[in-house]
Structure 1
Amino acid sequence: MNLAYRDVRHNLFRFVLTCLGLSLLMAVVLAMIGIYNGLVADALNIVRAPQVDLWVVESGTQGPFAEASQIPGTTRDAVARLHGVAETGSITYQTVEASNAGVPLRLYVIGYEPGHPGGPQTVTDGRGITQTHFELIADRQTGLAVGDRITLGRDSFAVVGLVDDVMNSGGDPAVFITLADAQVLQSQLAPPAQRVQAARGIGLAESGDTVAAVIARLDPNANVQQVAQTVRQWKHLGALTQGEQEGILIGSVVDRAKRQIGLFLGILLTVSAVVIALIIYTMTMEKLKQIATLKLIGAPDKTIVGLIVQQSLALGLVGWSFGLVLILLVKDVFPRRVVLEPVNAAALGGIIIVVCIFASGLGVRAALKVDPATAIGG
């Protein structure tokens, strides 16, 4: 006879209600894990999208994702002549506020050279960019559709294609335009400001041919470290391998978000442990007379301990199961991408088992201290 099962059946409504409450906590914990995974996935998607081996950036900077980087557009030709380099491309990144059907839209604009590395790998709807100017490929999360038009800066762009899951670490959906359009967009000023600059003679001799980085694919037999060292010998340039760029992104750009989410996870797990402990303690105190009766008829302590620990595990695991189902149902509604891997859910399940065992300690202690005479005393 399983005493925990019989006790749960006797108070089924309260047990289910308690599990639903715990499931909301578990859903929040899983959402936090999924949001962090999504943040990392989005950040790495951007840096991995060009599928290159080397990033040539401004000397003294950590690349276009961690800080500002500006180098001459002619750098691509110089890098292309290096031994071991197979393909090169110039690329720019900038965040732009636009409007779609009267709704403000924050976009991560990627400028690239068609026919060179840096553009979208797979266009899931529509086609790629074929014109030199005013065509755009958008991530589906922008809400744009093929054939729509959107104004960036002072120019109107036609949406010719859509891609999936291309966002930056801040959750802003990406759009791809030609490098020439991107350079115009990043140098455009409002007309009054432009007139002031022209009157002061500022910028008249400056070239607008600057890019955030030059990216390079190497020959299969080329040594990426040797090529990077060659680039670093040019005093005005720095070079980062793909692995180094990804490491900077994870260790610098998303590090604070990672620590913040980790703190929230710790707090939520602590709250879960306290809630489970209080619930089990309350349930134990309510049946002290029944526990005393069990002791009076000779039930061993392990039977009583098993009753309490099994109820604690049932609460935690049922709450975890409900929470997992809940977050899987609503994760697509979140404004940020939620990526929940099976290993994350399994790891949380293991943590919940440990938490439940420790949380049942308070109830076990109260049960073991019960005097069997309580059953007779009424």
Structure 2
Amino acid sequence: MNLAFADIRHRLGRFLMTCVGLGLLMAVALSMVGIYQGVVAEALALTRSLRADLWVVESGTRGPFAEASRIPGDVREMIARVPGVDAAGAITLRTAEMRAPQGLLRAQVMGYEPGRPGGPAAIESGRGLGGARFEMVADARARLPLGAMVTLGGDRYRVVGTTRGLVASGGDPLVFIQLRDSQELQFKLAPPAARRALAAGSSAGGTDTINAVVAQLSPAADPDAVAETVRRWKHLAALTDAEQGELLTRSVVNRARVQLGMFTVVLLFVSAVIITLIIYTMTMDKLREIATLKLIGAPDRTIVGLVLQQAMLLGVAGYAAAIAIVFMTRGLFPRTVALGPAEVAMMAGVIGGICILGSLASIRAALRIEPQQALGG
């Protein structure tokens, strides 16, 4: 007879309640691991969707994601003529609030030229932007159905298509509009400001400004060599796709990753302490039973197996509950919870290690129990 299973059957209700409580705690820790991975996945989702091999921005900046970048719109034609460039497109990027049917919606607005690099690679439903103005493609995170009307910058846009998984590094959903609409939204001065600019002798009303140029290179082109060619123009800077990815993961979202990582470590430490206390309490509750086993001559390995098996069963049941909770609810999280087989297996190993280490104190206490205690001494 397996003593661990026999004891669990004897206290089944208490064991199940303990597993549910541990499952909730492990679910929080597992969710933090998924959110940690999701932050990186979200940061790189846009660059991967654009399939850009080269990013051209204002000299001295690392924009458009890390800092502000403004360059003239005709830079796109200059980049398109660089040897090795197959196609180039101009983009603008800004965060804005829009009035949607469900209320105010904060989103990152990206303007691009349909037919050129800069737009989403895949449309989940509806269609991409056409030739008409005031059309919008929104990510599913914005919860805007096809045909919805939203007000942005005083103009009304119709949602004609949706994407999935395209969000800003801060978690805001991405929406795509025509480059011309985005330029007017971002760079056109209001009439009072335009009059002041004219009075000061500066240009007012010019909107042929963009934040970056994205380029797709020919298969034989060397991205580093093309980037170096662009950098020779003193008013421009260039980043390859690899450099842009490194910048996003190590600079733009680095603080969020560090915070999530530290919070995950704290949660795992708290989980280890609670699991250790639960195992110790379960062992001390069986003090008389363990003493009886010793009194009838049970070897120490039987006592060790009892404690260790119960600890592992507790960990397995709690972790199974945690996986079920996380995978059933991760669609409700405001950030992406990216959990694959590697993350689930890694967390399982961590929980297993915690259960083994947490049972050591209980095993030591169990082995020190005197057989006479079974007689009430």
Shared fold, TM over 0.5 = yes
Q: Distance in 2 between matches of 1:338 and 1:179?
A: 32
State how 1:215-254 maps to structure 2 within 5 Å: 215-254=214-253
For 1:167, what is the secondary structure of its paired residue?
coil
Q: Please list every run of 5 or more consecutive structure 1 residues that lacks an aligned counterpart in the other structure.
A: none
**Runs ≥4 in structure 1, deviation > 6 angstroms?**
none
Q: Distance in 2 between matches of 1:22 and 1:81?
A: 61
Paired residue for 1:301? 300
Q: Does the CA-based 8 Å contact 2:36-2:261 persist in structure 1? A: no
- C-alpha displacement of 1:257: 1.1
Query: Is 1:148 aligned to residue 183 of structure 2?
Result: no
For 2:104, what is the secondary structure of its paired residue?
strand
Q: Distance in 2 between matches of 1:324 and 1:102?
A: 32
Query: Is 1:65 aligned to residue 65 of structure 2?
Result: yes
Q: Distance in 2 between matches of 1:102 and 1:216?
A: 36
Query: Is 1:49 aligned to residue 44 of structure 2?
Result: no
Residues 177-217 of structure 1 show CA distances to partners (whole Å, capped at 9, x for unaligned) of 1111111111245555455545545543x842221111111
Q: Give the aligned residue type for 1:181.
A: D
Paired residue for 2:39? 39
Q: Distance in 2 between matches of 1:116 and 1:159?
A: 20
State how 1:24-173 maps to structure 2 within 5 Å: 24-101=24-101, 103-173=103-173
Q: Distance in 1 between matches of 2:255 and 2:64?
A: 18
For 1:151, what is the secondary structure of its paired residue?
strand
Q: Give the aligned residue type for 1:354.
A: G
Q: Distance in 1 between matches of 2:59 and 2:97?
A: 29
For 1:137, what is the secondary structure of its paired residue?
strand
Q: Distance in 2 between matches of 1:366 and 1:158?
A: 69
Residues 61-110 of structure 1 show CA distances to partners (whole Å, capped at 9, x for unaligned) of 12211111111111111111111111111111100111112611001111
Q: Distance in 1 between matches of 2:183 and 2:131?
A: 16
Paired residue for 2:254? 255
Paired residue for 1:268? 267
For 1:111, what is the secondary structure of its paired residue?
strand
State how 1:146-225 maps to structure 2 within 5 Å: 146-204=146-204, 207-225=206-224
Paired residue for 1:12? 12
Q: Does the CA-based 8 Å contact 1:309-1:360 persist in structure 2? A: yes
Q: How many residues align?
A: 377
Q: Distance in 2 between matches of 1:248 and 1:339?
A: 21
After TM superposition, the score normalised by the length of structure 1 is 0.95
Q: Distance in 2 between matches of 1:232 and 1:190?
A: 34
- C-alpha displacement of 1:170: 1.2
Taking a change above 3 Å as real, the CA distance of residues 79 and 190 of structure 1, as seen in their structure-2 partners, is closer
Q: Does the CA-based 8 Å contact 1:63-1:245 persist in structure 2? A: no
